[in-house]
Structure 1
Amino acid sequence: MSGLTLQLIDAPLDETVVRIALAGALGMFLGLEREWSQKSAGIRTFSLISLLGAVFTLLVVETEIGEALLVLGGLLVIVQGVMLGIQGLLGDDEAGLSLTTSVSMLVAYGVGALVAAEFILEGVTVAVLSSLLLVLKRELHEFAWGLSHEEMRSTTEFAILAFVIYPLLPAEWTPEFAGVTIPLEPQVIWLMVVAVAGIGIANYAIVSSYGGRGIAVTGFFGGLASSTAVVGTMLDHVRQRPEAASYAVAAILLANAAMAARNLAIAVGFTVGGRREILIEAIVPLGAVILIAFAVAAATADWRESGPMELESPFSMTNALAFGAVFLVVLVFGSLAETWFGTLGFYATAVASGFVSSAGATTSAVVLYRGGQLGPAEATIAILLATVSSIVVKALLASTSTNHGFRNQVAAYSGLLLLGGALASILILI
């Protein structure tokens, strides 16, 4: 018996016996939550269903009658699930009345078929995700019931961007404009749009949950999505409560820190695993901006003061398309400017676009770097220029406040951020 056990342990995953055993184990794993919830079908039923799917799938590979048996087995599982539902309905038994249990049985059958067909990773993934959905029943229901109409619409729009449009885009595209061939990566460009939109959704959830606990949350996490929105909110906050000016200044500093952190994440994250080296040159100057912003914010306000920021919606399709258009235009005209005027032309474009969206300018520089049009130094300088222009535009917006102390502090501390980033850049060059 021990010798047989050792043979099973040492056997590779492509061995038929091992795959059958794994199918049964995954079926037991799926049935564990159903058994714990006291449903009509539990561990044994789910394990047998997975084994049935595995056996019929193996017969498909080995015999000519296997396909019919595989379809018949699936139909039997569906009929069994329907019978369980009817039985629970007639008996007024809520434990037996479970459409989820019926569907889970069919999933278990599919998991067994996947494993037997040597789709090991896929089968395990389906089993784990399905079990997670079963366990998180209460949390998922509470989340869905708590969504407003605006939040539901925004979630649907984000799903369209991420799971419908993205797969349809080509991996590479080389259009010609004014006699210049511009290599583009539509999927990478759109993935960056999805990433920024996803940050906005995460920011909305965090601010909605914890925004009332402190202005630090509204400043930093609000800055991840839109640092300009933070400035607008703080202007209104100071107008209503002049005594809270120091907290508003700190919130804008944290928004700058979040903006720099987002740009750094784009610069480093989207160059990992590519054909070019990671843009490590951007880490020190952007890191200096982040650290200085946090240090000054910590010293200028008492974070026991609360100041929630209300966001209209977690995500907007219009804003996402506008963001994509911004850095696509920057990408195209940046390539043209570099071809016509050299690197200085692209730098000017980065500065101008940074006033609108530093993330757009950053992603454009990264895409050009990935395509080989920019070197690491040129891409880093463009990212830093976009970051600088974003800090400057927030200071200019804050200067419209009638509160002299507020606007003077924002201007002074913004200058300190720029100085710290410049010194860090000089240290790299030395």
Structure 2
Amino acid sequence: MNPFLTHVLVSACLGALIGLIRQWNDQQTPEAPVDFGGVRTYSLWSLLGCLSAFVSDNYIAAMLPVVMVLVGAHLVVAHIKSASDRYPGGTTFASSMLTCLIGALVNWGYTQSAIVVAAFTMVMLGIKQPVHSITSRFTTADIRATLQFVAITGVILPLVPNRAMGPYLAFNPFSIWLMVVLISGIGFLGYVLMRMLGTKAGIAATGFLGGLASSTATTLAFSKRSKVTPELATDYAFAVVLACTTMYARLAVMIGVIDQQLLLTLLVPILVMAAPGVLYAAWIWFSKRATTQPEVHPPSITNPLSLKTSIQFAALYAVAAFLIKIVTNFGWDNAVLPLAFLSGLTSTDAMSLLMANNHKDGTTLLQLAAQAVIMASLANTLAKAIIAIVCGSRSYVKHTASILGLMVAASVLALWLV
């Protein structure tokens, strides 16, 4: 086939696909339909781009810019003269101009690039309703906390000194805040997904996402609920065990981002520590999959990007770094594990990230760093077992405390393995 005809057909097809998504998206809106362009219009816009690029290359150099200006002017006029409350907005304008340029790319021989741009445009057009549904679930406090965090990170992080400071050179402001960004980002992923799912989240999804956001908060929330609705005690225990097991996967990801050698050393111990939770969760899942899953309200978890949460984590990380620096400077390496245990009672993240950084910098031996991470995990699991016992119902405690107890025992075994 003639290459030019191939370009024309490909352009028309890509434009038609974009128009299909746009037309479908408009038909999903409850308002009265307004013709903003569909399969036919977008096919023609893509053809205009392809043909005008061909004419610009061979005959009239200004043809493509003129066509782009005319398409833009058409949309502006449609916006001004629209008698309806609905009128072509920024998305319509951008998708129309992109469709013309996609046709031009095809004519210039960048077919793969044109397909990628077309696919991205289709995705952006198609996710309008899901995005609106997701954003409607966020509160004003969520948005404010996110904007605060982004502003402070984007402005302050590049400006803070990236060198050791303070007593015993224990503090590196840049490193501390970078660790805050890492742990908050992972927590925020789980937080966003929980907001997206809302009350429709199944018990398994809630447990997994709770483990990404905060396994401790998830344990506390479901432990209290088990007394209010004891008939769901087994389901709550399943969610908590799954959240506590997910914590190990989160730790592995965080450590792997910083120090792959430490991750490889901890890979088998992490699998050992997670094994009781994985086996219990699998048993519950397969024994209950034939039954209807209860509707679960996600636990109340503070936005991980809130300034207060970020400062608390930064302070915990800085204190742990200072204490570890002191004991290592004086040759008291045996004190590292007790410090890891105390730190793990509140959070495993600070000690795990600190050990990954210290081993990477050569200030902590590989074996000691791995043992400290395991000790912090052991303490955190023990703390959550105590929370379950104190706050949960009897049947809930029977399931949760026993599995978390096995996970503590597995942590002791993991210590021996390294």
Q: TM-score, normalised by structure 2?
A: 0.73
Cα offsets for 1:186-206 (capped at 9, x unmatched): 545523322222222223434
Q: Which residue of structure 1 lines up, in the alignment, with residue 78 of structure 2?
A: 84
Q: Provide closer, same or farther for how the CA distance between residues 34 and 389 of structure 1 changes in structure 2, counting only shifts above 3 A.
A: same
Kept in 2, the 8 Å contact 1:366–1:379? The answer is: yes
The answer as to 2:189 corresponding to 1:198 is yes
CA drift at 1:343: 3.7
Q: Which residue of structure 2 lines up, in the alignment, with residue 44 of structure 1?
A: 44
Aligned partners of 1:328, 1:27: CA distance in 2, in Å? 59
CA drift at 1:35: 5.8
The answer as to 2:226 corresponding to 1:238 is yes
CA drift at 1:354: 1.2
CA drift at 1:292: 0.9
Q: Provide closer, same or farther for how the CA distance between residues 386 and 402 of structure 1 changes in structure 2, counting only shifts above 3 A.
A: closer
Q: Which residue of structure 2 lines up, in the alignment, with residue 13 of structure 1?
A: none
CA drift at 1:390: 0.6
Q: Provide closer, same or farther for how the CA distance between residues 55 and 200 of structure 1 changes in structure 2, counting only shifts above 3 A.
A: farther
Q: Which residue of structure 2 lines up, in the alignment, with residue 34 of structure 1?
A: 19
The answer as to 2:407 corresponding to 1:417 is yes
Aligned partners of 2:247, 2:385: CA distance in 1, in Å? 14
Aligned partners of 2:110, 2:167: CA distance in 1, in Å? 49
Aligned partners of 2:367, 2:106: CA distance in 1, in Å? 49
Alignment partner of 2:163 out of 145, 165, 174: 174
Q: TM-score, normalised by structure 1?
A: 0.71
Kept in 2, the 8 Å contact 1:161–1:194? The answer is: no
CA drift at 1:387: 0.7
Kept in 2, the 8 Å contact 1:230–1:255? The answer is: yes
Residues paired across the two proteins, number: 391
The within-5 A match list for 1:14-413 is 29=14, 32-34=17-19, 37=23, 39-40=36-37, 41-49=41-49, 76-86=70-80, 89=82, 97=88, 100-108=91-99, 126-144=117-135, 147-148=136-137, 150=139, 153-155=141-143, 157-158=145-146, 161=149, 165-166=153-154, 169-170=157-158, 173-180=162-169, 185=175, 186-187=177-178, 189-206=180-197, 208-211=199-202, 214=203, 216-242=204-230, 244-268=232-256, 270-271=257-258, 277=261, 279-297=263-281, 303=288, 304=291, 306=294, 308-312=296-300, 315=303, 317=306, 318-401=308-391, 403=393, 406-407=396-397, 410-413=400-403
Q: Which residue of structure 1 lines up, in the alignment, with residue 28 of structure 2?
A: none
CA drift at 1:235: 2.9
Aligned partners of 2:36, 2:216: CA distance in 1, in Å? 52
**Residue type of the alignment partner of 1:32:** L
Cα offsets for 1:174-227 (capped at 9, x unmatched): 13111426555354552332222222222343453224xx4x444343233222
Kept in 2, the 8 Å contact 1:218–1:251? The answer is: yes
Q: Provide closer, same or farther for how the CA distance between residues 423 and 190 of structure 1 changes in structure 2, counting only shifts above 3 A.
A: same
CA drift at 1:52: 5.7
Aligned partners of 2:111, 2:189: CA distance in 1, in Å? 30
Q: Percentage identity across aligned positions?
A: 19
CA drift at 1:415: 2.6
5+ residue gaps in structure 1?
10-20, 60-65
CA drift at 1:408: 6.0
Kept in 1, the 8 Å contact 2:137–2:195? The answer is: no
Kept in 2, the 8 Å contact 1:233–1:309? The answer is: no
CA drift at 1:261: 2.2
Cα offsets for 1:44-102 (capped at 9, x unmatched): 3234347768998x99xxxxxx9x99987765543232123346x25x697x8565322
CA drift at 1:341: 4.2
Q: Provide closer, same or farther for how the CA distance between residues 46 and 121 of structure 1 changes in structure 2, counting only shifts above 3 A.
A: closer
Q: Provide closer, same or farther for how the CA distance between residues 112 and 314 of structure 1 changes in structure 2, counting only shifts above 3 A.
A: farther
Aligned partners of 1:368, 1:352: CA distance in 2, in Å? 18
Q: Provide closer, same or farther for how the CA distance between residues 329 and 25 of structure 1 changes in structure 2, counting only shifts above 3 A.
A: farther
Q: Provide closer, same or farther for how the CA distance between residues 136 and 247 of structure 1 changes in structure 2, counting only shifts above 3 A.
A: closer
**Residue type of the alignment partner of 2:374:** L
**Residue type of the alignment partner of 2:227:** R
